Amino acid sequence: MLENNLTLTLQIKFRLNKRRDYKVILDKMLDVLKHEGVVAIATQGEEGPHLANTWNSYVQVTPDDRLLIPAGSMNTTEKNVEKNNQVLITLGSREVEGFHGPGTGFLVKGNAKFVTDGSDFELIKSKFPWARAALEVKVISAKQTL
Ligand SMILES: Cc1cc2nc3c(=O)[nH]c(=O)nc-3n(C[C@H](O)[C@H](O)[C@H](O)COP(=O)(O)O)c2cc1C
């Protein structure tokens, strides 16, 4: 009984810790996105890896923590995502405090798709009228790398 209680307590503490870590990471990432910088979006194509970019300030974070990115072109990125939806994204800012002083950034792993209708697309279109689609990224992990 005592052992069971201890296990339960540890599990709950672990979950709370995880949740707190998650919030700390998310807040830091939101802070980075408030500062301008270049975002790199890597996909895998038949001919090898592919990189596209956006700006930090263009990345919209939904209430359920998905990323929405305006696609004006990104045709190769779309073709790649149709075959393999795994994306890697890096983003950073020198103006946000990192592990060693000013400068921080993240490596985000996610699953992507291009969305051309619905509320996510409408949100992107309202902010970026030139967007032909929203690149939606469901975040699998986000690691602070600096
Ligand atoms: C700093 C920077 C920001 C960019 N922002 C966007 C963007 O928000 N949306 C977009 O479609 N392309 C953007 N581009 C262009 C893309 O990186 C990419 O070259 C273009 O969309 C073609 O994509 P593709 O190679 O997947 O076909 C940006 C390029 C740079 C250098």
Below-50 pLDDT ranges, the chain? 2
pLDDT of residue 22: 81
Percent of the chain with pLDDT over 90: 82
The answer to whether the CB of 92 is under 6 A from ligand 1 is: no
pLDDT digits (tens, 9 = 90+) for 75-92: 999 999 999 999 999 999
pLDDT of residue 14: 56
Altogether, the residues listed in the chain come to a count of 146
pLDDT of residue 24: 87
Return d(Cα 115, Cα 82) in angstroms, integer: 12
Distance from the alpha carbon of residue 18 to the mean position of ligand 1, in angstroms: 34
Report pTM: 0.90
Amino acid 54 reads: T
pLDDT of residue 13: 59
Concatenated DSSP letters of 92-118: EEEEEEETTEEEEEEEEEEEEEEE-SH
